[in-house]
Structure 1
Amino acid sequence: MSNMKLKMGMIGGGKNAFIGAVHRMAAGLDGHIEVCCGALSSDPLVAKESGELLGLQKERVYTSYQEMIKRESELPPHDRMNFVSIVTPNFAHFEPAMMALEYGFHVVLEKPMTFTLEQALLLQKKVDETGLMLCVTYTYSAYPMVKQARQLVRDGQLGTIRKIMVEYPQGWLSKMIESGLSLAFWRTDPEKSGKSGCMGDIGTHAAHLAEYISGLKITKMCADLQTFVAGRKLEDDGNILLGFENGATGVLSASQVAAGEENALKIRIYGENGGLEWNQQDANTLLFKQLDAPTQIFRAGQQYLSSSAKHNIRLPAGHPEGYIEAFANIYRNFAVSLLATMEGITPAEEDTDFPTVADGVRGMKFLETVITSGKSEQKWTDFLI
């Protein structure tokens, strides 16, 4: 494969925007991608200032995504952006993603993929029609020890899966802080975030992780959603009983009012022969608990790991790899797959291991079903298919 760098345009993610900076760091980590243009804010002044801070050419700092997509499409093929990364709040995902696909650009998109399930299905249809690539950044699936956990399940080390327990407690929204913090404001505003608050922000990560590692699809759920902070418009806490396609049961708990917690995402999966445990705050460690043998401790960076885990490891054993590196694994795999496709080469299977439009649709189906179940008097609500 050639040493060509992919050119990335960014929508959203201007100065002082948390997730935009994360995307740029991750995209640049492996040298496959460079930011060439941006419509970095809906405020024209902020958009221009942000472009200057990133050192972008003035003529490629745009004040709207419409202008950026249209003008980039008019540039010679070797000069224009190859794909667009969209890091706006939820309500501003669908329109720029759809326009980018219509103009022939590949897309990387923040989760949840869209504002509604209907929009997600339209994007999926457009991806199918165009043959373009769309990647959704479900970051936690890209940690090396999550890859190892998935491989252990695939290899049958746990036997038939019976129980999946996943939790994601945060504490940062334990008080009404919306008025003073933009990150909190839009996430708790149904006009910008959508029908769901906590579940849309972090519960969808937990659900994706459960399905990714286990290889099983959720088929039904019983959701209890709560809004603990007075005056908040969306739920800030929830607990869900889950049913999976093989008959396994599960529990998903997500909260943004678990005072004192940071990002304590944790998953446990139990089969007839043993169980797995992974904690995002100790991401280099995976526990394999066997029925009739001592617990095994898998550590990142070791040669005994699966090829899928080693493919996503960057550092020698003992050097912590974390959130930025996991994000970078998604961008790297997406970029290598795209470069291979552009050259008419079939990408390696491990390079195609990143969340796609199908994962994005699944995430939106999850949220729609959570909301329906939370309002229902029935014990179980079928997962929307």
Structure 2
Amino acid sequence: MTKLSWGLVGGGAGSQIGPAHRLGAAVDGEFAFVAGALDHRAEEGRFYGRSLGLAPDRAYGDWREMLAGETGRADRVDLVTVATPNATHFEITKAFLEAGFHVLCEKPMTMTVEEGEEIVRIARATGKLCAVNYGYTGYALVRHMRAMVARGDLGRIRLVVAEFAHGHHADAADADNPRVRWRYDPAQAGVSAQFADCGIHAMHMASFVTGQEVETLSADTVSCIESRVLEDDAMVNFRMSGGAVGRLWTSSVAIGRQHGLSLQVFGEKGGLRWAQEQPNQLYWMPLGGRLEVIERGAGGLSPEADRASRVTVGHAEGMPLAFANIYRDMAEAIRAEKDGRAMDPAADLYPRAEDGLRSMAAVFAVAASGKAAGQWTDARPPMFRD
């Protein structure tokens, strides 16, 4: 099987997210890393690209140079990943989509709802894949939760409880730390800090697992460290399109919490509980039954979970492999397009531009509701309200 060609924008030396993308793209042998514009400093980016094995003519100085260089090649990249600072996502994603490239964009996809709607329209008009890296949906047991809900194991879903809380920004003495400060600065982060950074992962996962979209929400947002302009803690109540009620807590000042992403789903016939820090176990309680622990990699799971597992039961499987499942999904989608066939339904799970747009609309709704003392607010993008 010939590998697909992959290019990366951002994710240079010292990047937190770059190695996870390179590992994720490489795990299954679906993609060859052939092009990159890895740093906003041109020479550092070229040097780092060459150190990773890129040919000198495909280790670019910036994304515009990469766009021009790849557009003119017969062997141009099949997929471009955008892993740059948040405020640049829209411009870069838009340019590569319009040039006919498939794109995987880090979250948030855009900084405004209007930009998000434009990306959705461009992706639909060009017919190109535009995915957003809500990478935690790549975990095998998250996908098994989705399959259990879809096949009716839980009955009608009543309640969803999502959390993404950590304590890594709890020290007020870090107020001038540049790695922390920008997250709470509206000029750099936009209208929201903690919810936009972490809360939207939890909210997207709630929609991914239940198959329902968030329609309205009420938010209580607070800056526990008073010098911060944007929130470091939020509690969000929401209502979903299929009738489910949602509760979401996200925080960056919860001392003692590390990563803190978890999801609980409660239906008429049972409940599920999963935590990202213990990703190999899914807790299932059928109504009137006994608590069961479902192990990742065990026999008898859903096709979606089986396809997303790579190591045998009992062994750790973590975030880079969750990212790898997003890349594997996209490889299947690209190959299906090339071959003129339908893609494997168990792979048709990667988050779309529409998901990125819904998340941005939720960010603005949370910010507005928080300022209005929790007033219930429409969380849908305008283009999805009809």
Residue identity over aligned pairs, in percent, reads 35
Partner of 2:339: 343
Matches within 5 A, 1:1-385: 3-75=1-73, 77=74, 79-176=75-172, 177=174, 179-180=176-177, 182=179, 184-377=180-373, 379-384=375-380, 385=385
SS at match of 1:309: helix
- Cα distance in 2 for partners of 1:193, 1:74 equals 35
- Cα distance in 2 for partners of 1:262, 1:284 equals 17
Deviation at 1:206, TM superposition (A): 0.4
Q: 1:227 to 1:377 in 2, by over 3 A?
A: closer
Q: 1:162 to 1:295 in 2, by over 3 A?
A: same
Moved more, 250-259 or 169-178: 169-178
Matched-pair contact (CA < 8 Å) for 1:89–1:192: no
SS at match of 2:277: helix
SS at match of 2:17: helix
- Cα distance in 2 for partners of 1:122, 1:97 equals 11
Deviation at 1:181, TM superposition (A): 5.1
- Cα distance in 1 for partners of 2:38, 2:161 equals 38
- Cα distance in 2 for partners of 1:45, 1:192 equals 25
Moved more, 56-65 or 100-109: 56-65
- Cα distance in 2 for partners of 1:280, 1:135 equals 22
Deviation at 1:178, TM superposition (A): 5.9
Matched-pair contact (CA < 8 Å) for 2:219–2:374: no
- Cα distance in 2 for partners of 1:195, 1:335 equals 34
Matched-pair contact (CA < 8 Å) for 1:366–1:383: yes
- Cα distance in 2 for partners of 1:27, 1:233 equals 37
Matched-pair contact (CA < 8 Å) for 1:91–1:191: no
Q: 1:377 to 1:170 in 2, by over 3 A?
A: closer
Deviation at 1:300, TM superposition (A): 0.6
Deviation at 1:192, TM superposition (A): 2.9
SS at match of 1:18: coil
- Cα distance in 2 for partners of 1:25, 1:70 equals 26
Residue identity opposite 2:190 in structure 1: G
Matched-pair contact (CA < 8 Å) for 2:220–2:374: no
Deviation at 1:155, TM superposition (A): 1.7
- Cα distance in 2 for partners of 1:53, 1:235 equals 40
Q: 1:379 to 1:188 in 2, by over 3 A?
A: closer
Deviation at 1:290, TM superposition (A): 1.9
RMSD: 1.5
Residues 116-139 of structure 1: CA distance to partner in whole angstroms, max 9, x if unpaired?
111110010000110000111111
Residues 41-99 of structure 1: CA distance to partner in whole angstroms, max 9, x if unpaired?
11123212321321211221212211110111112x2x221221000111010111111
Query: When the two structures are superposed, what TM-score results if normalisation uses the length of structure 1?
Result: 0.95
Q: 1:73 to 1:142 in 2, by over 3 A?
A: same
User: Where in structure 1 are there 5+ consecutive unaligned residues?
Assistant: none
Residue identity opposite 2:80 in structure 1: V
- Cα distance in 1 for partners of 2:8, 2:147 equals 34
Query: When the two structures are superposed, what TM-score results if normalisation uses the length of structure 2?
Result: 0.95
- Cα distance in 1 for partners of 2:335, 2:262 equals 34
- Cα distance in 2 for partners of 1:20, 1:346 equals 31
- Cα distance in 2 for partners of 1:296, 1:354 equals 28
Paired positions, count: 380
Residue identity opposite 2:223 in structure 1: T
Matched-pair contact (CA < 8 Å) for 1:89–1:186: no
User: Where in structure 2 are there 5+ consecutive unaligned residues?
Assistant: none
